[in-house]
Amino acid sequence: MLILAPMEGLLDSVLRDILTRAGGIDRCVSEFIRVTNTVLPARVFERIVPELHNGGRTFAGVPVRPQLLGSDPACLADNAAVLAGLGPFGVDLNFGCPAKVVNRHGGGAALLEDPELLHRILCAVRAAVPADMAVSAKMRLGLHDDTRAEECALALQAGGAGELVVHARTKADGYRPPAYWARIADIRAVVQIPVIANGEIWNVEDALRCRDLSGSSDLMLGRGMVSDPGLALAIAEGSSSADPKMAWPSLLPLIADFWHLVRTRLDKKKQAGRLKQWLNFLRQRYPEAEVAYLALRTTSDPLVIEAWLADKLPDRSRATMQITARG
C-alpha cells in the first residue's frame, strides 16, 4: 500500500486531486484539521476535506482519511464524532507535526513526551466513532530524541489505533536527512498493528531501502511524490529506471489541470504562488520545470501564467482559460 502524506500548506485537496490522477496511490491522509476547545461545524471539515462531498474520495477515486490535530481527548472525541457523521474513510490523528506554533500549544510531536495522554486521546476517539470505522495515527520517533518511540507506539496501539504511520525522524530532526528507517523495524517488533514507513523516500531506490531497513512493505510518500508525480506508480511497478516515470509532456496536462483548480478554488492573491510552489518541487526532478519556474518566478499575474500554459499546451490551456473565465 502506498499512501499520500498529509503536508500542511502543500498537499491540500487541490494537489491531492492532481497527484492521485497520476496513479499508484492507494489512500490519502488530509492536512491536519486543528481542534482546540470547540466542536467544529461540518462545513469546516468539508472545507479542508472537500472530498467528503464525493463519497470521501478524490476525483480519481482514491479514499481520503481526514486528520485531526489537538491535545484534549474529550474535544478530539467530540469532533471525531461529527467527522464520522460525514462518512470519511476513517479518522487519523496527528502526533508528528514539528511546527513550533503547534508544539508550543501541546499538539503534534509535543505529545510524544506524554505516552499516557496519547493513550487517553486514542481511547476517547476510538469510543466516539463507529466500531467499524478505522482510527489511525501518525507519529515521529520523538520530540527531542527517540528514546520513547516504542513506548508511544504501544500507547497508541493500546488506545485503539488500528494502524500507525511512523515518520522516521524526531521533531528535533525536522526534515533533515537521513530518516532512521531501522527504528521503524524496532517499533514493528513491539506492536501488533500495521506500521507504515514514512520519511525521505524520493525515488524507487529509497523505497526499496526503506522497505528493507524498516521491514514495512507499506509506505507513505510526501515531498518525493510532490517532486515526482509518477513516483508511486514507479514504486508499485518496481521500475528500475532513474528517470521519472511520468515524462514532462505527460505531466504538462496535469499542471494545466492543477492551475485550473487553483484558479477556481483559491483566492486570486494565492494562485500564482501555489503554482510556483509546485514548480519549485518539480524542478528537483524535471529540467523543464526549472525553466518554467525561472520564467514565472517573478510574476503574480494569472494572465501571464495562462499565456505560458497556452504556449506549452495550446489546445488544453485555451479550454482551461475559457472554463476559468466562465467560472
Q: Is the peptide bond before 178 cis (omega within 30 degrees of 0)?
A: yes
Nearest-CA neighbor of 140 among 92, 186, 189, 173?
A: 173
Q: Is 97 a catalytic residue?
A: yes
Task: Say how far apart CA 260 and CA 255 lie, in whole Å.
Answer: 9
How many helices and strands in the chain, by DSSP H and E?
15, 8
How many C-beta neighbours within 10 Å does residue 161 have? 29
Tell me which H or E stretch contains 15: helix 13-21
Backbone angles phi, psi at 93, to 5 degrees: -120, 135
Task: Say how far apart CA 166 and CA 220 lie, in whole Å.
Answer: 9
Task: Say how far apart CA 142 and CA 163 lie, in whole Å.
Answer: 18
Instruction: Tell me which of 28, 75, 97, 210 is the catalytic residue.
Output: 97
How many C-beta neighbours within 10 Å does residue 302 have? 17
Residue with cell 529540467: 287
Exposed, middle or buried by CB within 10 Å (0-12, 13-18, 19+), for 87? exposed
**90: alpha, beta or left? (left if phi > 0; alpha if psi -120 to 50):** left
Strands 64-69 and 163-167: unpaired
The radius of gyration computed from the CA coordinates of the chain, to the nearest angstrom, equals: 20
Which residues are the active-site residues?
97
